[in-house]
């Protein structure tokens, strides 16, 4: 058994192992606890990089697969594997891990052990959700993320933390519980008794024919008369099921109008919580749309494309306008997340290669740049414990290095060419104009970019330049070595991803093509002037030649001779 087939297990569960180790340490050994957590995150980073390196862009869709029998009576198995997008997000999560620990090195002084255990468990849950190839396993990790995050906000946050934590928890729970029901429904539709499974590939394959029938029927009503039972049910109830999936993920993204939990959660969360929330948790929403909602219900995705696009556009513009009205810097960054995640959704909803690629890239960008914004503001907050812009001013004189970092990240956030943000937003806008969406959608999205530049530069101007309004700000210490080391990787990533996007785009592109091809199985009207396949191929960044039309996914067989409880090396059993 080679190492790469078990690699994802380590990616997912090593942080958990370190969390258990932490429980053994005495609670007052704060240094040891912090160091052990950092070590756990660094080991996780190594496994994450290893997984990213082991992923071959030209290979099969899901790689590093690992599957064991688990809860087979309920149709659930323990199945891990990553595609291009997932492995990129795994890398992002792994990179943010150690930085999160470093960022709270001095910030958290009470209940240090609980704090770090939460961080490590959260890391496991996030990695698990990204690596799951069994939909129910994904759901379990998706929900399990709530618990550590709830404690991070509720115990370690600022004054209104309990309310914010509760809001965050309940909001997400409502959506995901409805998704659970829809998932169960899909499960029962997927085949006769005894053949059903929650395995992603099996579920997708069993719905593929029915989805084709449904989309034919939705395009021209001629084919509606002799639908199979599954297709008929999908035609009748598909909008509800898609709606449940979309709601669950839209809350997580968050899309307008279910975004209201986000500003509260971000403002109240500690720096580490905000970083993880913005950096990774929000991506679970877009990732869920990408992996589950769209491919499982392509016909419904087309049918409701306009609604979702409208909500994304509202999110982009509304988020940006809200930013212009904020006094509280953390709240401003939170609303900027709403706006940026709107771009991700818009890109994915173009159902077209460039836009989708932009969305995928933007997911990573947002993790880097918004994570970095929260990190940097956290450093300022640690010094002054004030969140309002009016309380700062002229800080550039006192903290020059900090200012440089903040401005670089600002440039990334407003998509200045040469930074990572430019690549993502440019692709999204390009895709929007090239897609079947009306012209004004692209124009509206572009105004979002302009507003984005306005509010971020406004922040920079008011916080860093101008006269020093408060005496305390004049004597602030510039960032120390630890803080410098924490922020540096993200700043470097901004430039790396902005100037050399190829390595990442290469990993993402097969996933992008497959996503687009899957959604296009249910193109509502083939005669309409949408994209021709050639135009997709023309794109420069598509190294991988156009893939054949989507085939049924390869279902990895469970080897029943390898029981889960036997030992950790299934290969060794006689």
Q: Which is nearer to other proteins, 136 or 218 (CB)?
A: 136
Q: Which of 420, 440, 130, 416 is nearest to 316 (CA)?
A: 440
The token pair at 528 is: 């309409």
Provide, rounded to whole angstroms, the least separation between the CB of residue 276 and other proteins. Answer: 19
DSSP 300-337: HHHHTHHHHHHHHHHHHHHHHHHHHT-SBHHHHHHHHH
Q: Which is nearer to other proteins, 61 or 143 (CB)?
A: 143
Determine the Cα–Cα distance for residues 484 and 463; give it in Å rounded to an integer: 20
Query: 347 with 253: CB under 8 angstroms?
Result: no
Provide, rounded to whole angstroms, the least separation between the CB of residue 24 and other proteins. Answer: 14
* Cβ within 8 Å of residue 427, ≥6 positions away: 347, 354, 355, 357, 358, 359, 361, 362
Provide, rounded to whole angstroms, the least separation between the CB of residue 204 and other proteins. Answer: 18
Helices (DSSP H) in 160-304: which residue ranges?
161-189, 200-219, 229-252, 261-268, 271-276, 282-288, 294-296, 298-303
Q: Which is nearer to other proteins, 72 or 502 (CB)?
A: 72
Q: Which is nearer to other proteins, 150 or 515 (CB)?
A: 150
Number of Cβ within 10 Å of residue 43's Cβ equals 18
Provide, rounded to whole angstroms, the least separation between the CB of residue 255 and other proteins. Answer: 19
Provide, rounded to whole angstroms, the least separation between the CB of residue 30 and other proteins. Answer: 16
Q: Which is nearer to other proteins, 115 or 455 (CB)?
A: 115
Provide, rounded to whole angstroms, the least separation between the CB of residue 13 and other proteins. Answer: 12
Provide, rounded to whole angstroms, the least separation between the CB of residue 236 and other proteins. Answer: 9
* Cβ within 8 Å of residue 451, ≥6 positions away: 317, 320, 321, 323, 324, 339
The token pair at 68 is: 């064991």
Helix axes 400-413, 420-434, angle to 10 degrees: 10
H/E run at residue 69: strand 63-69
Determine the Cα–Cα distance for residues 232 and 217; give it in Å rounded to an integer: 10
Provide, rounded to whole angstroms, the least separation between the CB of residue 170 and other proteins. Answer: 6
Determine the Cα–Cα distance for residues 115 and 125; give it in Å rounded to an integer: 15
The token pair at 558 is: 């469970």
CA 213 from chain centre, in angstroms, equals: 32
The site for other proteins (CB under 8 A) is made up of 69-74, 136, 139-141, 143-144, 146-147, 150-151, 154-155, 161-162, 165-166, 169-170, 173-174, 177-178, 180-181, 184-185, 187-189, 192-193, 229, 233, 237, 560-566
Provide, rounded to whole angstroms, the least separation between the CB of residue 67 and other proteins. Answer: 13
Q: Which is nearer to other proteins, 248 or 542 (CB)?
A: 248
Phi-psi region of 32 (alpha: psi -120 to 50; beta: other; left: phi over 0): alpha
Provide, rounded to whole angstroms, the least separation between the CB of residue 528 and other proteins. Answer: 34
Query: 555 with 205: CB under 8 angstroms?
Result: yes
């Amino acid at each position: 058994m080679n190492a790469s087939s078990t690699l994802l297990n380590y990616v997912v569960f090593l942080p958990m192992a370190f969390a258990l180790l932490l429980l053994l340490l005495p609670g007052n050994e704060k240094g040891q606890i912090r160091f052990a957590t950092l070590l756990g995150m660094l080991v996780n980073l190594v496994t994450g990089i290893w997984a990213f390196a082991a992923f071959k862009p030209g290979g099969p869709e899901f790689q590093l697969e690992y599957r064991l029998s688990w809860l087979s009576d309920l149709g659930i198995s323990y199945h891990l594997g990553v595609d291009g997008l997932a492995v990129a997000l795994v890398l992002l999560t792994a990179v943010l891990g150690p930085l999160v620990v470093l960022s709270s090195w001095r910030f958290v002084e009470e209940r240090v052990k609980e704090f770090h255990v939460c961080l490590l468990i959260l890391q496991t849950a996030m990695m698990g959700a990204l690596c799951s190839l069994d939909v129910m396993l994904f759901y379990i990790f998706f929900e399990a993320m709530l618990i550590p995050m709830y404690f991070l906000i509720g115990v370690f946050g600022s004054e209104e933390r309990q309310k914010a934590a509760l809001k965050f928890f309940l909001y997400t729970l409502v959506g995901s519980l409805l998704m659970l029901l829809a998932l169960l429904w899909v499960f029962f539709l997927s085949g006769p008794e005894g053949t059903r499974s929650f395995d992603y590939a099996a579920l997708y394959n069993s719905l593929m024919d029915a989805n084709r029938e449904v989309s034919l029927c939705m395009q021209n009503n001629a084919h509606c008369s002799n639908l199979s039972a599954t297709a008929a049910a999908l035609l009748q109830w598909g909008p509800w099921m898609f709606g449940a999936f979309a709601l669950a993920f839209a809350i997580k993204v968050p899309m307008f109008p279910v975004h209201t939990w986000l500003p509260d959660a971000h403002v109240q969360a500690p720096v580490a919580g905000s970083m993880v929330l913005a950096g990774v948790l929000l991506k679970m929403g877009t990732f869920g749309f990408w992996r589950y909602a769209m491919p499982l219900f392509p016909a419904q995705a087309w049918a409701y494309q306009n609604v979702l696009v409208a909500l994304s556009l509202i999110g982009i513009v509304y988020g940006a306008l809200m930013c212009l009205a904020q006094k509280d810097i953390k709240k401003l960054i939170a609303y900027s997340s709403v706006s940026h995640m709107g771009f991700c959704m818009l890109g994915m909803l173009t159902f077209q290669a460039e836009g989708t690629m932009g969305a995928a890239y933007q997911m990573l960008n947002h993790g880097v740049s918004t994570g970095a914004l929260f990190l940097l503001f956290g450093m300022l907050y640690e010094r002054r414990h004030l969140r309002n812009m009016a309380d700062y001013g002229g800080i550039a004189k006192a903290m020059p290095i900090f200012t440089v970092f903040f401005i670089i990240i600002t440039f990334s956030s407003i998509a200045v060419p040469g930074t990572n943000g430019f690549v993502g937003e440019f692709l999204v806008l390009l895709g929007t104009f090239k897609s079947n969406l009306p012209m004004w959608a692209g124009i509206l999205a572009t105004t979002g970019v302009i507003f984005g530049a306005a509010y971020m530069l406004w922040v920079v101007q008011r916080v860093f330049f101008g006269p020093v309004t408060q005496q305390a700000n004049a004597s602030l210490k510039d960032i120390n070595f630890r803080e410098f080391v924490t922020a540096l990787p993200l700043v470097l990533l901004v430039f790396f991803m902005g100037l050399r996007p190829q390595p990442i785009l290469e990993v993402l592109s097969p996933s992008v093509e497959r996503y687009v091809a899957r959604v296009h199985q249910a193109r509502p009207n083939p005669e309409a002037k949408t994209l021709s396949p050639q135009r997709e191929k023309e794109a420069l960044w598509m190294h991988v030649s156009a893939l054949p039309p989507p085939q049924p996914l390869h279902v990895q067989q469970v080897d029943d001779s390898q029981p889960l409880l036997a030992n950790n090396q299934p290969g060794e059993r006689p």
